[in-house]
Structure 1
Amino acid sequence: MTEFKSHTRQFIWGTFTICCFGLFIQAKTTDSYFEMSKNLEVFANIFKELNTYYVDPIEPGKLTKTGIDAMLNDLDPYTNYITESDIEDYEFMTTGKYGGIGAALQKKEKDVYVGEIYENSPAQKAGLHSGDKIISIDGKNVYDKTIDDVSLLLKGSSGTKLVIKVKDAFSDVESDKVVTRGEIEISSVPYAGMIGASKDIAYVKLTQFTMNCSKLLRQSLDSLKKNNAGMKSVVLDLRGNPGGLLDEAVEVCNIFIDRGQLVVSTKGKNKEWDKNFNTEGSPWDTQIPVAVLVNGSSASASEIVAGTIQDLDRGVVIGTKSYGKGLVQATRPLGFNARLKLTTAKYYTPSGRCIQAIDYSHRDENGNPDKIADSLIGTFKTKNGRLVKSGGGVTPDVTAGTEKISALSGALYSKNYFFDYATQYARSHKTLNGGENFSLTAAEFADFSNWLSSKDYSYKTKTEILLDSLTAAAQQDKLYDASKTELAALKTKVMHDKKQDLLKNKEEVMRILENEIVSRYYFQKGRINQSLRNDEVVSKAVEVISRPDQVKSLLQAQK
């Protein structure tokens, strides 16, 4: 008990000192010094009282993290407390590297399965397959474990071994797989290739702004240009890219923009965060036509690149409106290998706009933040005088694509039926007919349809959901008895037939299923390459970027 109290006292003093340091440097008045000092003393006293008198033993680390997380929840979702145990996950977000086996995981009910396997990874070399059921790891049963718990068991120092007992997806035989962990680096540029009818458009997918991603992007473009002398334009795909390192965003812009150009500026409460970030290196090409693809999941550093390319009229932004994260985070050391990631500034693109969509400093009566008020949304001008707006993400110059899938596909995906059928398909097909350009035949789709007939994938259409709401409103307003006959008739009329829905959404379902099957043979590169064939946004980008007159018109101010 003495040792426990000693550890607790050290923990409290460490927490107290860290909080004092982090907060006192911000204090401006004697009142704020006193207020913080008083509350920190109250916090420490509560901790001591709990430790001494609470009926059961307490866990200092867990209790404090709960308190810190609750405190930070009043700010924005990007300000987080990173514990020592979470530090590896945080570093993976910035470097793209971790020690492990190189495989994703899938949870189905209480079992955990091997999901997507990375090409040339330790998992692949050890003979693991997508769809293998994991039974135990180094003798520890994983049944009913969370994916996070299982992932923690798989991670470790490069070169260390672990034994994974699996039920093989192809043979149903249980066996032990000895896997030697390696340093897994998830490439921020998983695919680069030539697209378009004449294969003269470079397409590059950038998934995250990790360390050295700009260098990797430049190398990919160099390689494409070397092997394709007729390259005429570039499509940079930032869809689904959540962002990352601000410096890397500047370097990515520098690929297409000359040195000395302002890319982004930051402004914070403290003057130390008021900075301008200019391009400093030699560009790759300042003249080649560029299209940047974005969607609602393109955020932060992705929006810096898209917004800068748009503001400088350097290229055309295509897709759907981006996420709207105009905040900058920095990390502060807290001791004991813990860190605080906190929002320190807002960033502004060259035109002067901030694309932040949510105002976390003002909340409604329920404590929920709201969108930036219309009165605070400003209009700015690009280099050529085109009008662009702040406060809500980057609006594309050309709108294309939709991010929504049908309720049917959503149900099949959430139930892992695409994944399960792809496992079954790979089990009975050693090679893939058509390679990365694989397409399901009519007979194969019929087989999938028959396979689904015994599966439970109930869901409600939008019409059914609205009808349920209408029925509930009628009951609340005491109008249900008078309208129940009509409501029942309407319910019968709109009730969906799953087989008919499958036929109506056949093209979408086939596209998702084909993509899942291709990934079993050609990994992530094959998945991306196959998806380009039916990608509406990429097709629109090819159409636009292939017409210099249209690009020129889009980049000119409307008279």
Structure 2
Amino acid sequence: MKKLLSKRITVSAVAVVAVIAFFSFKSGDDKNFQIAKNLNVFSAIVKELDMFYVDTLDPNKMVREGIDNMLYSLDPYTEYFPEEDQSELEQMIKGSFGGIGSYITYDTKLKRSVISEPFENTPAAKVGLKAGDILVEIDGKDLLGKNNAEVSQMLRGQAGTSFKLKVDRPNLKGTYTPLEFTIVRESIQNPSIPYASVLENHVGYINLSTFSGNPSKDFKKTFLDLKKKGATSLVIDLRNNGGGLLDEAVEIANYFLPRGKVIVTTKGKIKQASNSYKTLREPLDLDIPVAVLVNSATASASEILSGSLQDLDRAVVVGNRTFGKGLVQVPRSLPYGGTMKVTTSKYYIPSGRCVQAIDYKNRNEDGSVGAIPDSLTKIFHTAAGREVRDGGGVMPDIAVKQEKLPNILFYLVRDNLVFDYATQYCLKHPTIASPEKFELTASDYTDFKATVKKADFKYDQQSEKILKTLKEAAEFEGYMKDASDEFKALEKKLNHNLERDLDYFSKDIKRMITNEIVKRYYFQRGSLIQQLKDDNDLEAAIQILNNPAKYKEMLSVPAVAKK
């Protein structure tokens, strides 16, 4: 009896201690309690569903969707990468991956992936793969019906491993020639500077495509080389540069700014996430005039470089408003080989502004996020006193109107008509002129138009869609009876006319075809040379660099003082 009573007292004491611990934990740290509670609930739900749900569940898929939806509710950049997706994360950080070095696209008619652009000096280019090659088999596995993500995963692998690739190559007979290649994967490092040159009037030009890897080293070498070749001013092209490593942006800014300048400050919840990044070395050139080209795809580290040079009045920014990514992510290791790229801080450039444009904290009713309206942005000032704003990316000092591409071009690209024409063109022309000199002839464009007509090409015209909507509104509101004749006359004028549209929009269509052809022979470098031949942003940058007085005035006089 004493033993039983002793046991009961002991159990009761343990229970009391547990209850005291439970309530002290809850009252002492309610947030930790809520986390533990919800994790237990989540775990219980998964187990109950696995045991009792009417259909068989895939636990990996179910939990992954739960994780992705949880992270989606935070901000657009916090992501989970399981062990099998580590190569994707590594590519983001280092700018490299093990593979063949080629873009692929999916042909919906063939239900197969197609080589769209092999990179220069990579395994794809070395073995002779060409744009237009249809991917048939990898190591005997048929690729029919596999999407681009699946095929890309099969093409990638550890550097030094090999595989056999079967392709069907289009020929001049309108059929396909089967080919087989043995390809050894390499570490693919996308070039951080695909093109650099000295342009007219001694203007140096550097196209910087990424801040992943170690681009500052390449930039320094390229810049000094351009100066040796006679460059007396510089254009840094950051258009379509999605960013990369913050440290690399600071290092490149240091080339043009004095030692000890604060370039960017990060502020987060924990001490380790809050830092100040200064220029640590002596600059390469404090005096050379600099213009930076930006557009809506200029993001993250690109905005740190362009924004800091603007805030410190060291460069004129030209183009269109940048993307507006003012958040910093760091990788955090997780169990079972996973990694989470988590947003730990916001960054602030020298004027004190944060360029974050997406208001992810205030979501719409459908869960989507919108941009911070201009009316809610705040005014900051550059070192010279010029007004700049936060909350919407980096606004250029010289805004260049962006040309809108015609609707027909979207459909020509979507239906692979431009791509397929370029493939046939290359079969007929073993060589072409250099990118600087190559032009599509009138005869070539006539051939393209014939190809389009033969393909029974159909496309939607925006004017027809708008007119249809207007007619429906007029009928609903009772205006159609009186406006019937006017609508008929307008419909007649807006009649679908393929020949007319191919001629009317020939400039834009020719430009797209020319670019597609040139990169087949001269890769990305040739494509950039071709695009720069008719580039309004670059022209505006060259104009300001060639006008020292205007350049100096733009960087030194506050906008409020200009009359």
Contact 1:264 1:278 in 2 (8 A): yes
Q: What is the Cα-based RMSD across aligned positions, in Å?
A: 1.9
User: 1:60 aligned to 2:67?
Assistant: no
Q: In the alignment, which residue of structure 1 is the partner of 2:158? A: 157
Q: In the alignment, which residue of structure 2 is the partner of 1:214? A: 216
Contact 2:104 2:117 in 1 (8 A): yes
User: 1:295 aligned to 2:295?
Assistant: yes
CA distance in 2, matches of 1:437, 1:482: 57
Task: Tell me the amino acid that sits aligned with residue 360 of structure 2.
Answer: Y
Contact 1:240 1:296 in 2 (8 A): yes
User: 1:321 aligned to 2:321?
Assistant: yes
Cα distance, 1:170–1:203 mapped onto 2, change above 3 Å: farther
Distance apart, 1:315 and its partner CA: 0.8
1:152 counterpart SS class: helix
Distance apart, 1:174 and its partner CA: 0.7
Contact 1:436 1:522 in 2 (8 A): no
Q: Which runs of 5+ in 2 are unaligned?
A: 1-25
CA distance in 2, matches of 1:69, 1:451: 45
Contact 2:124 2:183 in 1 (8 A): yes
Contact 1:436 1:518 in 2 (8 A): no
Q: In the alignment, which residue of structure 1 is the partner of 2:99? A: 100
Distance apart, 1:502 and its partner CA: 1.6
User: 1:183 aligned to 2:183?
Assistant: no
Q: Which runs of 5+ in 1 are unaligned?
A: 1-26
Task: Tell me the amino acid that sits aligned with residue 283 of structure 1.
Answer: P
CA distance in 1, matches of 2:464, 2:215: 46
- In the superposition, the TM-score normalised over structure 1's length comes to 0.91
CA distance in 2, matches of 1:344, 1:413: 40
1:158 counterpart SS class: coil
Cα distance, 1:258–1:173 mapped onto 2, change above 3 Å: same
CA distance in 2, matches of 1:488, 1:397: 47
Alignment map for 1:230-245 (pairs within 5 Å): 230-245=230-245
Alignment map for 1:59-458 (pairs within 5 Å): 59-109=58-108, 110-170=111-171, 172-196=176-200, 198=201, 200-226=202-228, 228=229, 230-374=230-374, 376-402=376-402, 404-458=404-458
- 1:143-174 CA-to-partner distances (Å, cap 9, x unmatched) read 12101111111111122111111112346211
Distance apart, 1:33 and its partner CA: 2.3
Identical aligned residues as a percent: 42
CA distance in 1, matches of 2:393, 2:291: 17
Q: In the alignment, which residue of structure 1 is the partner of 2:529? A: 529
Cα distance, 1:28–1:505 mapped onto 2, change above 3 Å: farther
CA distance in 1, matches of 2:62, 2:308: 44
Distance apart, 1:349 and its partner CA: 1.1
Alignment map for 1:479-498 (pairs within 5 Å): 483=483, 485-498=485-498
Aligned pairs, number: 529
Cα distance, 1:456–1:253 mapped onto 2, change above 3 Å: farther
Distance apart, 1:134 and its partner CA: 1.2
- Higher mean C-alpha deviation, range 513-522 or range 250-259: 250-259
Contact 2:374 2:392 in 1 (8 A): no
Cα distance, 1:468–1:246 mapped onto 2, change above 3 Å: farther
Cα distance, 1:250–1:456 mapped onto 2, change above 3 Å: farther
CA distance in 2, matches of 1:359, 1:403: 27
CA distance in 2, matches of 1:502, 1:472: 29
Contact 1:83 1:339 in 2 (8 A): yes
Task: Tell me the amino acid that sits aligned with residue 203 of structure 2.
Answer: I
Contact 1:316 1:397 in 2 (8 A): yes
CA distance in 1, matches of 2:321, 2:364: 25
Task: Tell me the amino acid that sits aligned with residue 120 of structure 1.
Answer: N
Contact 2:99 2:158 in 1 (8 A): yes
Runs in 1 of length 4+ with deviation above 4 angstroms?
475-485
Q: In the alignment, which residue of structure 2 is the partner of 1:47? A: 46
CA distance in 1, matches of 2:213, 2:27: 36
Distance apart, 1:192 and its partner CA: 0.9
Distance apart, 1:528 and its partner CA: 0.7
Distance apart, 1:458 and its partner CA: 2.9
Distance apart, 1:459 and its partner CA: 2.9
1:328 counterpart SS class: strand
Contact 1:544 1:551 in 2 (8 A): yes
Distance apart, 1:492 and its partner CA: 2.9
Distance apart, 1:87 and its partner CA: 1.2
Contact 1:239 1:293 in 2 (8 A): yes
Distance apart, 1:118 and its partner CA: 0.9
Task: Tell me the amino acid that sits aligned with residue 499 of structure 1.
Answer: E
1:362 counterpart SS class: coil
Contact 2:134 2:169 in 1 (8 A): yes
Distance apart, 1:376 and its partner CA: 3.5
